[in-house]
Amino acid sequence: MSSKGKRKPKVGVFKFASCDGCQLSLLDAEDELLGVAGAIEIAYFPEATRAVVKGPYDIGLVEGSITTHHDAQRIQEVRRQCKTLITIGACATAGGIQALRNWKDVDEFIRVVYATPQFISTLKLSTPIAEHVPVDFELRGCPINKYQLIELISATLRGRKPNVPSYSACLECKRKSNVCIAVARGVACLGPVTQAGCGALCPSYDRGCYGCYGPMETPNTASLSSQFHILGQSNAQITRDFRGFNAWAWQFRKASEEYEHK
């Protein structure tokens, strides 16, 4: 078929348990949106369009974590429909803030929020997509960085490796010539163990990093925890530090559990 080479790649955007912020990043790319929409066929994206083009899809962007039986089954079907499956954001890559239930009794949680808990069906754990199906690329962040998303889509379409670094947020801080708030002022900062991607935002706004992009490649969480201890943080506080938007990422999970039981 001669027209096949010209066919625009079909992209689907799928949502699971999440705040919608990561898929909104696409609509927030105001300068690039019409360009991106010209290069791909937006085949499934309920937040933006009523139109539905049936799969299979060349690229599937998945936002959100798995928290219900129904979603655990749905992700299997989404995987079957997508040639390349990319997870976007902390919910999809690490279970999100809703993974805080993973250390608690979810039935008690439901009773706190709902008067008739038996109407609510949910799993005991909030889990990342990769715990359910093979994932081709995980884009970190709470929320993701829209420029990283556009880079990732372009790289995938051209069949090259995306330029998304896995080093720590400290490198971004150094490049911005920020004075280190942890060293200079003793502020507890997760920057040394957190993957870059936000542009070292929090330290640039005079506060410690709280780990939106999840663990960097080889994080030394034990060393950072003992530093937090020296700064006067309690064990409970150190546990909370690692129990944020990427709490269920195994490195942060291990770090938080170490101090929970100390």
Binding residues for another protein (CB under 8 A): 15-25, 27-28, 30-31, 33-34, 37, 42, 45-51, 67-68, 71, 96-98, 100-101, 104, 106, 108-110, 112-116, 119-120, 122, 126, 142-143, 198, 201-202, 204-207, 210, 212, 237, 240, 244-245
Nearer to another protein, 52 or 222 (CB): 52
Of 22 and 129, which CB lies nearer to another protein in the complex structure?
22
CB of 209 to another protein, least distance (A): 9
Smallest distance from the beta carbon of 101 to another protein, in angstroms?
6
Q: What does the DSSP assignment read for 140-193?
A: --SSPPHHHHHHHHHHHHHT-------SBHHHHHHHTT---HHHHH-----GGG
Minimum CB–partner distance for residue 86 and another protein (Å): 18
Backbone angles phi and psi of 41, in degrees to 5: -105, 115
Please say which residue, 101 or 132, places its beta carbon nearer to another protein: 101
Residue with tokens 């990561």: 22
- Cα–Cα distance measured from residue 177 to residue 174, given in angstroms and rounded to the nearest whole number: 5
- CA 155 to the chain's CA centroid: 19
Q: Which lies closer to another protein via its Cβ, residue 1 or residue 34?
A: 34
CB of 49 to another protein, least distance (A): 3
Identity of the residue numbered 29: A
Among residues 15, 26, 12, which one has the least CA distance to residue 149?
Answer: 26
82: CB partners within 8 A, 6+ apart:
12, 55, 56, 57, 58, 59, 60
For tokens 């360009």, the residue is 35
Q: How far is the CB of 12 from another protein (least distance, A)?
A: 12
Nearer Cβ to another protein (68/220) = 68
User: Of 226, 178, 224, 218, which Cα lies nearest the Cα of 202?
Assistant: 178
Q: What is the nearest approach in angstroms of another protein to the Cβ of residue 240? A: 7
Tokens, residue 204 = 């640039």
When the beta carbons of 64 and 219 are compared against another protein, the nearer one is 64
> What letters, b where the CB count within 10 A reaches 16 and e where it falls short, cover 103-137?
eeebeebbeeeeeeeeeeebbebbbbbeebbebeb
The first and second tokens of residue 193, run together, are 């163990």
Nearer to another protein, 2 or 116 (CB): 116
Least spacing, CB of residue 104 vs another protein, in Å? 7
> For residue 52, what are its two tokens?
């539905």
